[in-house]
Amino acid sequence: MRSRWWLRGLLVLVLSTSLSAGDFLRSSHVAVSHEGERWAQRTLKKLSLEEKIGQMFMVRVLARFMNVDDPDFVKLREQITRYHLGSILLTVPSDGSFLVKSEPYEAAMLINDLQRGSRLPLIVAADFERGPSMRLFGVTAFPHAMAFGATGKPEFAEEFGRITARESRALGVEWNFFPVADVNSNPENPIINTRAFGEDPAQVSAMVSAYIRGARQEGMMTTAKHFPGHGDTGTDSHLGLAAVTRTRDQIEQIDLVPFRGAIAAGVDGIMVAHVTAPALEPDAGKVATTSPAIVGDLLKKELKFHGLVVTDAMEMGALTRLYPHGGASASGRAAVDAVRAGNDLLILPSDLDGAYNGLLNAVRSGEIAESRIDESVLKILEAKASVGLSKARMVDMNAVSSLVAQPTSLAFAEQVAAASITLVRENRHVLPLKNSGTIASALTYGMVEHKPLVCVILTDDVRLENGRRLERELRSRVRGVQIFYVDPRIASGMAASVQQAVSTADKVLVAVYMVPVAGKNVKKEGTAPGNAIALADTPAALLQSVLETARERTVVVAFGSPYIATDFPQIENYMCAYSNVPISESAAVRALFAETPLRGRLPVTIPGFAPRGTGIQKAATH
């Protein structure tokens, strides 16, 4: 009798498990089945005009723990309900240069809560350009895209796509706003830079296409950005109006190549930039986002792209400056112009109520035909069906621990970082650094007469994580290494201490952390404040003085933009890691000590310093 009850209980458990498993969203190859098409068509017919308009908007969601009565959570749910929103963009709070990252479970639980309260399933998107580690802790961290370009291996980009998709889908994110398809041919580009795979259109296209294939195989939608190309601009479109000044032929031969490759690879969405391109749109009052010639004629008709056309954030300065009156009416006008140009999805409007009602009133007045709205909404619903949202919307919290940060994924990310390290120049007097063992403790700062190695870490803010892994790796190898953390606020005050240490050191390592950051203001002497991918004046002066004192004993490592060497042509030993993530710090240290081979090659030209393809190849010796 007891065994019979045990078997009955086991059967109930198995059945309940299998039934509940069917309620969870499952990832598979991105594709719309006939059943999914029918679901999209049936759903569209049931929607009111107000509900259809809402499907075309995406708002920001900050991934953090929120009580159900938290005013922010209540407001978010109210927005989703009131405006019938069709999608959300997962990000995290920020405090200046600091991103307040969350943990995987917090993000997944928040997404489940929002999905549960929405009438229609939400597409959850994210800017996971370096995988979920862009926004979350405890996940696989990858270096910037330019590091992949330095490896020269599209197969790495494909596996990158697969791993990012697997982890993203486990958290409830179905759509990544990546890959960056921009060809970064402008060394002064402040916002693309290391986010791009490189400057060669064919190589960028190969990397973009490979990433798309890998991601879609694991069930994640992809987005190529920023159409028609943001790589040859010198302005951050978050702050001001960026201009693409190439000729039509140049745009065809350079900028459009990766986008054509992305379309051929099956990319799900293309994000349109808030840039001007006179060769494509002569009206100075229009950016690409609001240009029928760029979106409707070039992208949809000429390039034959039939997927989702997505705006860049509608709150960005490059767009809002074209509507100087501001407020609800300006947001409404911007939304109408974007839809009339051919965009399907409007991301992060500066005034949601104004944008929503502006678009709604445009349809009611006949300025925009409802059939035009239906066209976009059907594509959005089919996209939802393509990732399984027509069948289920909740993610299985129990699966997070088995799918996120798998040991093989972590090992692969380290492999990419190691393969990307590029030795651009050396004088044969500094490298490799010598492993001298360690002592129990060492001071970060402090005046001493002699040090075998002095490391100067130049960063935007010494409170950031930049350099922390680098310091630990150095201390595990060099007895008595002296470390200086320097940012623009304290560079002048630290100059004397740094110079004294450098003057007596056997060797000097200068680690420069310079990565593209949206909306970052940098003041350079003789110029107005603005975003720049360059050292601020005081750290630049400090680096200059170090080179004047110990140029032949110094190695400079760029943990970010490789272009910094342009301003310091006297550098005799130069290495590029392309990224400030900890695995790139570890990879660079191993390369400096010749523990791993040097195989990377520059995917961009450093003007006046080194051409694309430069890379001194060396075998490991330790």
- Burial state string for 218-257 with b = 16 or more CB within 10 A and e = fewer than 16: bbbbbbbbbbbbbbbbbbbbbbebbbbebeeebbbebbbb
Q: Residue 7 — left, alpha, or beta (φ > 0 → left; ψ -120 to 50 → alpha)?
A: alpha
Instruction: Tell me how far CA of residue 430 lies from CA of 352, 519, 615, in angstroms.
Output: 57, 37, 17
In terms of Cβ atoms closer than 10 Å to its own Cβ (0-12, 13-18, 19+), residue 15 is exposed
Alpha carbon distance 311, 275 (integer Å): 11
Residue 500, phi then psi, degrees to nearest 5: -65, -45
258 cis-preceded (ω within 30 degrees of 0): no
- Burial state string for 332-359 with b = 16 or more CB within 10 A and e = fewer than 16: bbbbbbbbbbbbbbbbbbbbbebbbbbb
For this structure, is 312 an active site residue? yes
For this structure, is 84 an active site residue? no
Alpha carbon distance 123, 276 (integer Å): 30
Report yes or no: 310 and 271 within 8 Å, Cβ to Cβ. Answer: yes
Report yes or no: 216 and 29 within 8 Å, Cβ to Cβ. Answer: yes
269-272 and 574-576 strand pairing = unpaired
Tokens of residue 477, six digits: 């190898």
Alpha carbon distance 516, 514 (integer Å): 7
Query: Any idea what the Cα angle at residue 474 is, between residues 469 and 478, rounded to 5°?
Result: 160
E-strand stretches of 500-610:
507-512, 554-558, 574-576
Given 226, 238, 274, 351, which residue is catalytic?
238
Given 255, 312, 351, 396, which residue is catalytic?
312
Alpha carbon distance 310, 177 (integer Å): 10
Selection from 246, 306, 308 nearest residue 275 by Cα: 246
Alpha carbon distance 556, 512 (integer Å): 7
Q: What is the DSSP letter of 65?
A: -
Q: At what angle do helices 370-386 and 34-46 cross, to 10 degrees?
A: 140
Q: Helix or strand or coil: residue 235?
A: coil
Which strand (E) or helix (H) includes residue 81?
Answer: helix 71-82
Report yes or no: 307 and 268 within 8 Å, Cβ to Cβ. Answer: yes
Which residues are known to be catalytic?
238, 312
